[in-house]
Amino acid sequence: MTTPSGRASSSRAGRPKGVDVEEVFTGVALVFEGIGALAMIVGFLIAIVLGWRSLRRGEGGSAAFQVLRTTLGSAILLGLEVLVAADLIRTITSKPSMEDAAILGIIVLIRTVLSMSIQVEIEGVLPWRRAMLTSGGQLLGEAVARDRAAASRQQSGSA
């Protein structure tokens, strides 16, 4: 297709046809956002199941609530970490303006404070006071491992 001046047109003004890196990384950022949201949804479902199983084992409502709270908080932490990565990918691969950089900074700051607050709620200690750094995924894995161990103890006790 040609323009009125007789030059060949492309889908993007002044750029040759082909792969647009910005569009590719925007797609990657969308995938990361989907993974972050999925992590929170799946973590919510895991938290419900683990809390319910804790109740069925007769551990009491307080223990079940603690399992639910810890597991759900861990899933939210994991999702927030992935969403921060998506924001970073989207911002650094576009042509960021000072306004875009400021908005990213504010979003990352809010998500970081939220993540730290959730971690303090879950672990009862400030993140920099922990002996080892623990991510949301590790906490979620530990909750599943604790549930499996409790289920094994119950099965061996009833056999």
Residue 120 — pLDDT band, cuts 50, 70, 90? confident
The pLDDT tens digits of the residues spanning 8-57 come to 444 445 555 667 777 888 888 899 999 999 999 999 999 999 999 988 88
Q: What is the pLDDT of residue 74?
A: 87
Cβ within 8 Å of residue 86, ≥6 positions away:
29, 30, 32, 33, 36
Q: Which residues are bridge partners to 8 per DSSP?
A: 2
| pLDDT at residue 16, as a whole number | 55
**The pLDDT value given to residue 97:** 79
* pLDDT the model gives residue 123: 75
Q: 98: which 2 tokens?
A: 């000072």
Q: What is the pTM of this model?
A: 0.62
Task: List pLDDT tens digits, range 64-110.
Answer: 888 888 889 889 888 988 988 888 888 777 777 788 778 888 888 88
- Give 155 or 40, the one with higher predicted confidence: 40
DSSP, collapsed to helix, strand or coil, labels residue 66 as: helix
Q: Which range has the worst mean pLDDT, 114-118, 121-125, 132-136?
A: 132-136
